[in-house]
Chain A
């Protein structure tokens, strides 16, 4: 599930964020403990702890002393907002660059996007 091509703590954090965005993990829901997560995925517990700490620092999770880690109630919206901000840099910019390389006029691109979103509105 996790690979060796990038730091595993980042992959864990992304995985949990994806679960929150998808609704698999809901606000105020408890997440697996560090030791359970480490044992389940066969990962060094220090690596798992680092991922959870980052999620706490980012406001995705919060700690309840002696009980465990929970999903912040506003995490889904906060994550969506963060993804919205990076959407243009991550998705739109590379698309425009690629279109330019292929000689696709910008007007074609805009037209295609408009058509696609109209299709979405009328089911």
Chain B
């Protein structure tokens, strides 16, 4: 099945709160996508809509050209793992929960699930609700990976996991993505730790999509321009400035957009220092309150 995902002016409102505001994007599928955003930016709302857990208040979302909500043909191809939430409320033992997951997904791989259970050292005879936070997250990860669904989404699945377990998750995810390519979407704010895994990145801020691009393009897109304040102002004129710092006559401006050789030469001639901006810094500046609502999707 095609995993071409299309969101068109997708909105979600709870009473008078707008969780997601006319978000539009296209994911061609078969890649690892990073969904970044601060707490309350709309990540979980967006994933809930993609998984068909909720009905959009406005706009549409389709997978393979077909609407998701209340469409069993589509939702059977999707798997959303939400933090630790689902394991805790079930009241089932770990092995029962895995059997239930197997029953739901025709693409389930039981042998692979057992390997993952061993990897994360999950006690299969224990009640899932009594597991530690980290083990519940790990259980969710096992369900997501072993489901082998064409679209698999992990919503902050690292919560409660210690660093060694998080790296086990990243390694397993990458190995799985290479052995059985499919669409995987990870929401996170541990950017530095996982961003190398992403092929594309979407950044949500205050319910809006402020950016969607190739991860590699983003790494080339942020620069810090530092030097004499007047010269910096002249240089960044007309560019998208994400933030500024000033100390005396020296100013540093964070700009978004790749700088070509011509611009670099101009900076050098003006005595300005150009430094790269890490993805994490780019994320922080793009989602700063001062920048809210002036976002644009390329």
Q: Which residues of A contact B (CB under 8 A)?
A: 2-9, 35, 38-39, 41-47, 50
Contacts and interface: CB of A to CB of B under 8 A. Distances in A.
Contacts of A6: 219-220, 276
Interface string B276-288: 1111100000000
A45 B280 contact: no
Nearest to B32: A44
Q: By DSSP majority rule, is chain B's interface helix, strand, loop, or mixed?
A: helix
A7 B278 CA distance: 10
B216 A4 contact: no
Contact of B195 (A4, A35, A46): A4
A42 B216 contact: no
A5 B177 contact: no
Nearest to A8: B196
14 contacts: A4-B196, A5-B219, A5-B277, A7-B216, A7-B217, A7-B219, A7-B220, A39-B175, A42-B197, A44-B32, A44-B197, A44-B215, A47-B199, A47-B216
A102 to B, nearest CB: 15
A39 B174 contact: yes
B55 interface: no
Interface in B138-171: 167, 170-171
Contacts of A46: 31, 199
A39 B216 contact: no
B192 interface: yes
B216 A50 contact: yes
Given A4-B278, A47-B199, A47-B215, A39 B32 contact: no
Contacts of B32: 44
B280 A4 contact: yes
Interface in B33-69: none
A50 B199 CA distance: 11
Nearest to B191: A4
A39 B167 CA distance: 11
Interface string B184-198: 000000011001111
Given A5-B278, A39-B171, A39-B175, A44 B198 contact: yes
Contact of A42 (B171, B215, B217, B278): B171
Given A39-B175, A44-B32, A2 B196 contact: yes
Contacts of B196: 2, 4, 8, 41-44, 47
Nearest to B282: A4
A3 B198 CA distance: 14
A3 B215 CA distance: 12
